[in-house]
Amino acid sequence: MKAQSDIPAASRRIVIMGNGGSGKTWLARRLAEPLGLPLVHLDDVHWEPGRYGIARDKAVVHEDVRTIAAGEAWLIEGVYGLYVGIALPRTTTLIWLDLSEEECVAHIMRRGIQGGESQESFDGLVKWVSEYRARKNNWNSFDGHLKLYESFSGQKARLTNRGEINAYAESFLQA
């Protein structure tokens, strides 16, 4: 693991965004430890601790994201485009995992119910993931992520399949 002072400036504040089941958490874990970056899962910021499905107060979450983004070094991962937008001005690298809905749903189905989810909430998640490109006027959608990606002028990558994600992780860690 690198000391934060040894991390290249372009790699100090990384955001990974994408649909549910796209591999954000896997890639975040793959990069954060070797780079010595604190890992922030936006699910942990958004939901009440131990109460999956119960969102925290939005003003509190926004302030928490601002506080995290003010830090010197971090890796943030999540689907929440609104929160990504809060962190984006301090982000040095933006990674968008833009996989097909079919691939994301298949991954979620293989992963199964997690973190105290009910069958009903799991079924809702599968439906929600399958509608990524259909959702309109929503920061947690293809359109929302595309706007964030296109507006970002720093180092960025848009990865569209697992092979690209694996290759990117390897090359990023070698840099």
Per-residue pLDDT of the chain (175 residues; tens, 9 = 90+): 444 445 556 568 999 999 999 999 999 999 999 999 999 999 999 988 876 678 899 999 999 999 999 999 999 999 999 999 999 999 999 999 999 999 999 999 998 887 677 888 899 999 999 999 999 988 999 999 999 999 999 999 999 999 999 999 998 888 6
pTM: 0.91
Q: Which domains does the chain have, with CATH numbers?
A: 8-169 (3.40.50.300)
DSSP β-ladder status, 74-78 and 51-55? unpaired
